[in-house]
């Protein structure tokens, strides 16, 4: 198994697949997740960096949001690609597990991520969902789905099942309260938790400013 070749060809494939994506899940999102994951992996012990790198590159390869809610589409696509790359079976299973379990699936739904490498990739992905970039991505995706920026008549939901979460159709700002503001407390690693603090603080400052302007107080 040629690890360098696998990483290079995987990066080329992913970049080509997502280079013109406009929902906030584009190539540059993947690239930022790779950078975040590398930063976290350096500070954690006993990490298989190769698995982290591949998991980060492939984490959105077939996101359920764009595959009719199929939460296993990513794992299947991962296995198909890495099999073509002649990767080891055990390694393929580890990366597929990361891809299938990386996504947030509702505040009341427990994460099934069990590997350290997966938890690192999950933290890296969640870091890109908060802070200044996370705000921009949220509105980009909301616009893609035809959601209003904010609808004050809507109610914040705490989804207890993935099925409920998939049907969520609130405004983009409601999404902040249903997911984004909770991610700081859902980080897995010590490094991820530390990195999330500043981004979370910016997110909360933004929401305060948003509501003040919405209510005509500024």
Average pLDDT over residues 187-216: 97
CATH-assigned architecture of domain 3-214: Orthogonal Bundle (1.10)
Average pLDDT over residues 41-69: 93
Residue 168 has pLDDT above 90, yes or no: no
Residue 53: predicted pLDDT = 97
Residue 89: predicted pLDDT = 95
Residue 186 has pLDDT above 90, yes or no: yes
User: What is the tens place of the pLDDT at every residue in 18-43?
Assistant: 998 999 999 999 999 999 999 999 99
- Distance in angstroms (rounded) separating the CA atoms of residues 148 and 3: 44
pTM above 0.85, yes or no: yes
* Domain locations in the chain as residue ranges: 3-214
Residue 71: predicted pLDDT = 83
Residue 100: predicted pLDDT = 95
Residue 72: predicted pLDDT = 83
Residue 68 has pLDDT above 90, yes or no: no
Residue 69: predicted pLDDT = 79
More confident call, 178 vs 168: 178
pLDDT band at 70 (very low <50, low <70, confident <90, very high): confident
Residue 11: predicted pLDDT = 97
HSE, side-chain direction, 13 A CA sphere, residue 20: 0
- Distance in angstroms (rounded) separating the CA atoms of residues 59 and 34: 10
HSE, side-chain direction, 13 A CA sphere, residue 61: 29
Residue 160: predicted pLDDT = 92
User: What is the tens place of the pLDDT at every residue in 103-148?
Assistant: 999 999 999 999 999 999 999 999 999 999 999 999 999 999 999 9
Beta-carbon neighbour count of residue 181 at 10 Å? 15
Residue 20: predicted pLDDT = 86
pLDDT band at 155 (very low <50, low <70, confident <90, very high): very high
Average pLDDT over residues 148-160: 93
HSE, side-chain direction, 13 A CA sphere, residue 37: 29
HSE, side-chain direction, 13 A CA sphere, residue 118: 19
Residue 218 has pLDDT above 80, yes or no: no
């Amino acid at each position: 198994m040629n690890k360098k070749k696998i990483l290079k060809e995987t990066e080329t494939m992913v970049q080509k697949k997502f280079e013109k994506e406009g929902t906030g899940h584009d190539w540059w999102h993947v690239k930022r997740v790779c950078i975040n994951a590398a930063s976290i992996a350096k500070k954690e012990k006993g990490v298989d960096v190769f698995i982290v790198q591949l998991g980060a590159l492939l984490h959105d390869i077939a996101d359920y949001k764009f595959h009719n809610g199929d939460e296993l589409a990513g794992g299947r696509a991962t296995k198909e690609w890495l099999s073509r790359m002649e990767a080891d079976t055990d390694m393929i299973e580890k990366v597929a597990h990361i891809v299938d379990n990386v996504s947030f699936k509702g505040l009341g739904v427990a994460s099934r991520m069990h590997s350290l490498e997966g938890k690192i990739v999950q933290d890296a992905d969640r870091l890109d969902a908060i802070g200044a970039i996370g705000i921009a991505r949220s509105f980009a995706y909301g616009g893609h789905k035809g959601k209003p920026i904010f609808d004050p008549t809507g109610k914040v939901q705490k989804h207890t099942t993935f099925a409920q979460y998939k049907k969520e159709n609130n405004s983009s700002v409601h999404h902040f309260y249903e997911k984004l503001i909770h991610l700081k407390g859902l980080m897995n690693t010590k490094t991820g938790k530390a990195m999330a603090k500043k981004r979370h603080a910016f997110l909360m400052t933004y929401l305060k400013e948003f509501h003040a302007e919405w209510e005509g107080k500024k």
